[in-house]
Amino acid sequence: MSDAWDDRKKALEEEYFRRKEQEAIEKMRARMAADQQTVAATPPTFQCPKCDGTLKEINLEEVQIDRCEKCGGVWLDAGELEQLTRRESGGWLSRLWKSSASE
């Protein structure tokens, strides 16, 4: 008879801990989902390769370029220099770009 009671106690204990684990898993999933929404809502920040300052996107002649808030350095993504030189036609930047491209 005591074996039946022991088995029943073990079964109730296992059921209790299974429910507690399930509750903990659900709370963790909810927390992870909230964290992912927070991360998705914040724009990514990039560090300056020169000084480790924060790069901020600015609009220069309708081209988004990255400028360091600490050292003032300007960083261009692929194709942005070509976009800027096409827009400027005849200025010093396009002349510099054409002379370096021909070398």
Residue ranges of domains in the chain: 1-42, 46-102
User: What integer pLDDT is reported at residue 85 of this predicted model?
Assistant: 74
Q: Which two tokens stand for residue 24?
A: 């903990």
Q: pLDDT tens-digit profile of 24-68? A: 999 999 999 888 887 666 666 788 888 888 888 888 777 888 888
Whole-number pLDDT of residue 103: 47
Among all chains, which residue has been given the structure tokens 């370096």? 100
Amino acid making up residue 16: Y
Give SS3 for 29. Answer: helix
> What does each C-alpha distance from 39 to 5, 18, 35, 49, 57 come to in angstroms?
51, 31, 6, 23, 19
- Bridge partners (DSSP) listed for residue 59: 64
Residues 6+ apart with CB under 8 A from 4: none
- At the top level of CATH, which class does the domain 46-102 belong to? alpha beta
Quote the pTM value.
0.44
Q: What is the pLDDT of residue 56?
A: 86
